[in-house]
Structure 1
Amino acid sequence: MDKGILLVTLIFLAIIILPFVFIGLSKKKKRNRFLNKITNLADLRGCTITRHEISNNFIIGIDDSAGCLFFYKKEPDKEILRDFNLKEFKTCKLLNVSRTVNDKQNQLQLVQKLELCFYPIEEDQPEEVIEFYNDEYDSLTLSGELQMIERWEDQINKYLKTLQKEKPAVVPVAKASTSGKNKKKFQKSYK
């Protein structure tokens, strides 16, 4: 009788515990697969991922010393793998595309897209955009993506400000006047 109860208890515990074990292993495998995607790209660029963060279907990482940002996203019909040299940008901004839905009692803001837009230093260069969330093919509910993107926007902008402080100031060189009396003074001072 004791062996029967023990066997039933063990089977019951296995039925309860095994799904959690499989879910954990699946998440770890997905995490490693995502991290390998940006790590391989970073290796190709001669970089090392120093910080990263993973969400349901994307990963973002950065090499702080090289100033390179890496991004991978798995969409239903394609994979997106991108890298950015942050030294080419002056700022980045979170773009939250949402629509308002009227309920009987209140209005609801529904997020349609979350993007991070990078504005280049060179005015003739195009803006670069990373799409983190799109309600057309991502889950209908956000699960921390907005907060994650806000964190990364803040971290990247702080990094870009430190880069701008490190750049040597460009001092315009005043042109010497070479007309009239100033021409003679200029010539005398450098002979």
Structure 2
Amino acid sequence: MDTSVIIIGTIMLVALCGPIIYFNRLKANSEKKFIKQLDDYAVSNKYTLDSHDFWSNTVIGIYKSAGKLLYVAKEGGSFAKNEINLHNVKRCRVVEVKNEDKTSVVRLELVFSYVDANTPETSLVFYDATRSNFLLSGELQLIKKWHDLVNSTLA
């Protein structure tokens, strides 16, 4: 009787913990692929990565000594990269788009305006309710952090 209890307990433990371990490893591998994009960019341009963050298939990194910001988002099966030369940026601001009744955020963007007025603004999406999670999970704090980080670099 004791062995059957041990076997059933072991099976239940594996059934409960197995998926958790699997999905944690899957997330860690996904994050490593995104961070590798930043590292490869740094190595190929001889930059030093000062800070980075990863969230929902997106990574952002800043290379302060080079005055560069790299944003990589996975769209479909490929990576879409957006490099911003901070030396050409005049202003960085947060754009928060709310739904019609102004009760919830549907989109968060970090928008860059350039010194050259003819250069169109660049928007980096931190949250989009139509494409990603329907609930905000730290994106408000993250976009504020990057807004402050970029503006301190611009100053």
SS of the counterpart of 2:100?
A: strand
Is the 1:47–1:66 contact (alpha carbons within 8 Å) kept by the matching residues of 2?
Answer: yes
Is the 1:53–1:61 contact (alpha carbons within 8 Å) kept by the matching residues of 2?
Answer: yes
TM-score, length-scaled by structure 1: 0.73
Following superposition, the deviation at residue 25 of structure 1 comes to 0.3
Is the 2:92–2:147 contact (alpha carbons within 8 Å) kept by the matching residues of 1?
Answer: yes
In structure 2, what is the Cα distance between the partners aligned to 1:144 and 1:80?
Answer: 22
Runs of 5+ consecutive residues of structure 1 not aligned to the other structure: 102-107, 162-191
Runs of 5+ consecutive residues of structure 2 not aligned to the other structure: none
Following superposition, the deviation at residue 77 of structure 1 comes to 6.9
Counterpart of 1:145 (choices 127, 139, 144) is: 139
In structure 1, what is the Cα distance between the partners aligned to 2:45 and 2:92?
Answer: 22
In structure 1, what is the Cα distance between the partners aligned to 2:39 and 2:106?
Answer: 30
Alignment of 1:1-191 (within 5 A): 1-76=1-76, 79-101=79-101, 108-161=102-155
Rg (Cα) greater in structure: 1
* Percent of residue pairs bearing the same amino acid type: 29
Query: What is residue 176 of structure 1 aligned with on the other side?
Result: none
* Residues 40-93 of structure 1: CA deviation (Å, up to 9, x unaligned): 233333323221111112111111222211111123476321111211112200
* Residues 129-185 of structure 1: CA deviation (Å, up to 9, x unaligned): 212222222222221112201110011101111xxxxxxxxxxxxxxxxxxxxxxxx
SS of the counterpart of 1:23?
A: helix
Is the 1:34–1:59 contact (alpha carbons within 8 Å) kept by the matching residues of 2?
Answer: yes
In structure 2, what is the Cα distance between the partners aligned to 1:127 and 1:59?
Answer: 20
* Matched residues, number: 155
Return structure 1 stretches of 4+ with deviation > 4 angstroms. Answer: none
